[in-house]
Structure 1
Amino acid sequence: MLVVSRRWLGCAAVVMALGAYVNGASAQTYPSQSVKLLVGFAPGGPADIIARIVGQKLSEHWRQPVVIENRGGAGGNIAAVQAAKAEPNGSTILVTTSAFAVNPSLSSKAGYSPDEFRVAVIAATTPNLIVGAPNLPFATLADAIKAAKAQPMTYGTAGIGTTPHLSAEKIFSIVAKVPILHTPFTGAGPALNSVVGGHTPLASVALPAAVELVKGGQVKALAVTSNERIAALPDVPTAREQGLADDEDATWVAFFLPAKTPSAIVEKINADVNAVVSDKEVQQQLGKIGFRAVGGGVEQANRYVKSEIVKWGDVIGKLGLKLDQ
């Protein structure tokens, strides 16, 4: 029979109480220094847009500097690897997209495991958009695909494993069965710049990165991957309308922390980001560029990301994609 002394039990109770006190105190004083939002992609993409909108509001609320650091490359993996090694004190927050849920299935060398992180909050979501260079002689994605069957064509994305990449591959490889070559960039901004300059005929990106370029006539919007047309670009047909999809694909942006970050800090960040994205002015700002604010609790966010890992792992299997081959 195991005998436990009262003295040991008393010490254990003190340790547990002290741990709870420290955990609570850390939330009350957080943040006591500047906070870095480590963005997994280059400036101009969805993660960068959300980081800057939310980061500005957090800085005002926290009365601490919120610094944006872009670490694009490898479909968000470079930033994820760096964030996984950060001190688990809330001073570094990874802001990345649904590529986080894709990359571990896409490659055994992603450099991180989802288990190394906790999701603080899903900030926003948006459909993907396929655009073309302004001088292309067609106005819809269906027309572009017909042209691609007769002549070589390429398309750019923010990186291998991003959901815009997988959305495009589903359409081109599975539905249309046309070999359009993928050209990965370090972010949506560089991919779109290549289309604007006429170097790449097509690009598949999260919608907000391209809205102003479409409105300004610098790129042509060929298809959106939502089930219904988007208010920000009401004249752009869906891929579904063109017979090229039967479901909706989206890119979401979330805030991640190292798994050992105290729960009180994770909850604090969750609550404060929720306050930002529930603000009507922020929601209007996001809506104009094609985002929908999400928010919600920590456990809800973690369940959602786990479901996305399963969903995109299945898509990757059907496409036969594997970076290690």
Structure 2
Amino acid sequence: MITRRSLGGLLALGSLSLGSLAPLAAPAWAQAEGFPERNVTLVVPWPPGGSTDAVARILAARLQQDTGRGFVVDNRAGANGTIGFASVARARPDGYTVLIGTGSTYAMAPHLYQLPYDNDRAFTGVGLIASQPLILCIPGTAPQRTLAEFVAAAKAPGARMAYANAGTGSSTHLATELFLQAAGVEMTDVGYRGGAPAVQGTVTNEVQLIIQAAAGVLPLIQSGELRALAISSAERSPVAPTIPTFREQGFDVVVAEHIAALVPAGTPAPVVARLNALFQAALQAPETRERLAPLAAVAETQRPEEWAAYNAAENARWRDVIRSRNIRVQ
């Protein structure tokens, strides 16, 4: 018969203690098998109503349908998305807090701001989930019909052209600077408080050029208030197949407004893989694709193991653009 004393002696022989008989935490693979067991929060670092918020809500609705668990969108806006990023960096690394962010914060902001988190170490990438092409537009009343004609006009002696900047350090701002660099053109930067007034300033010819996410300009292109000269995708986009790419017109400008899912560093790899599988299944559903189409958003497929190389390349690319164009946040 084993008494408590003899049991204690046996445990001591094995360098154990009675306290070690407490239940052990489930291994990571076991945590992932039943994930999610409760509601998941999707943190969007932008205000409600924007395209990233809309993508997150479409995704959340499908994930809830697929899993039977709640996926709740939490908007934490401010400081070019860094407030929302900081909140996720501090969250418990268990997969129940997921960041739905854009390249303007994970690849551009680190080279413009002092961040309250370590951008290289604070997050693990679940993967890209969607992207939107950017479109270069000029006023519908402008005489130029092609990108080559516009560049020639901008280079003409005495030309005084300006471009709309919807936010210093945003993806649309840096894409514009990338185009100007590729074209060898200098234009005046005119700042606006957001995309809507920047687009309106182009419609009224206050400025002569804007590069904006497709969803924000396609209706005005269709009405003739704006004229599209180029789209930033590598190939012609299904959302606007008649608009030629920059590349086919001789300008090496390939940019997308990428939307990605990230979790706090330290989240177990099986949980990250489970999130990626759930997201990909939701994004491939025909109903999801139909709901993304009016946003000019295309579902992306990226595995977690592909994130690190992609993220490093994006950071290096935009760091170089920011430095070469001497861009600073005022």
Tell me the TM-score range normalised by the shorter chain.
Answer: 0.7 to 0.9
Provide the C-alpha distance between the structure 2 equivalents of 1:128 and 1:12, rounded to a whole number of angstroms: 59
Cα pair 1:88 1:260 within 8 Å, conserved: yes
What is the SS of the residue equivalent to 1:210? Answer: helix
Shift in CA distance, 57/179, structure 1 to aligned 2, threshold 3 Å: same
Greater C-alpha radius of gyration: 2
Equivalent in 106, 113, 130 of residue 136 of structure 2: 130
Equivalent in 276, 298, 321 of residue 304 of structure 2: 298
Provide the C-alpha distance between the structure 1 equivalents of 2:319 and 2:110, rounded to a whole number of angstroms: 5
1:148-163 to 2 correspondence within 5 Å? 148=154, 150-157=159-166, 159-163=167-171
| Cα shift readout 1:122-159 (whole Å, capped 9, x = no counterpart) | 112333212234454544444445555622423133x3
Question: By how many angstroms is 1:42 displaced?
Answer: 4.2
What is the SS of the residue equivalent to 2:30? Answer: helix
Structure 2 partner of 1:59:
64
Q: Which runs of 4+ in 1 moved over 6 A?
A: 9-15
Question: Once the two structures are aligned, what percentage of the paired residues are identical?
Answer: 27
Shift in CA distance, 256/146, structure 1 to aligned 2, threshold 3 Å: same
Q: Which runs of 5+ in 1 are unaligned?
A: none
Normalized against structure 2, the TM-score is what?
A: 0.78
| Cα shift readout 1:198-239 (whole Å, capped 9, x = no counterpart) | 765543223244334433445332321223322321222222
What is the SS of the residue equivalent to 2:178? Answer: helix
Shift in CA distance, 141/55, structure 1 to aligned 2, threshold 3 Å: farther
Shift in CA distance, 298/304, structure 1 to aligned 2, threshold 3 Å: same
What is the SS of the residue equivalent to 2:237? Answer: coil
Equivalent in 265, 274, 280 of residue 271 of structure 2: 265
What is the SS of the residue equivalent to 2:25? Answer: helix
Structure 2 partner of 1:225:
232
Question: By how many angstroms is 1:66 displaced?
Answer: 2.8
Structure 2 partner of 1:169:
177
Aligned length: 315
Provide the C-alpha distance between the structure 1 equivalents of 2:57 and 2:30, rounded to a whole number of angstroms: 28
Cα pair 1:129 1:221 within 8 Å, conserved: yes
1:109-258 to 2 correspondence within 5 Å? 109-114=114-119, 115-146=121-152, 148=154, 150-157=159-166, 159-183=167-191, 185-186=193-194, 188=195, 191-192=198-199, 195=202, 201-243=208-250, 245-258=251-264
Shift in CA distance, 210/92, structure 1 to aligned 2, threshold 3 Å: farther
The amino acid across from 1:258 in the alignment is P
Normalized against structure 1, the TM-score is what?
A: 0.79
The amino acid across from 1:36 in the alignment is T
Shift in CA distance, 147/252, structure 1 to aligned 2, threshold 3 Å: same
| Cα shift readout 1:25-69 (whole Å, capped 9, x = no counterpart) | 365152413x33222334554423321221221122233333334
Provide the C-alpha distance between the structure 2 equivalents of 1:190 and 1:19, rounded to a whole number of angstroms: 53
Provide the C-alpha distance between the structure 2 equivalents of 1:45 and 1:139, rounded to a whole number of angstroms: 30
C-alpha root-mean-square deviation of aligned residues, in Å? 3.5
Q: Which runs of 5+ in 2 are unaligned?
A: 1-11
What is the SS of the residue equivalent to 1:255? Answer: strand
Structure 1 partner of 2:320:
314
Provide the C-alpha distance between the structure 2 equivalents of 1:199 and 1:82, rounded to a whole number of angstroms: 38
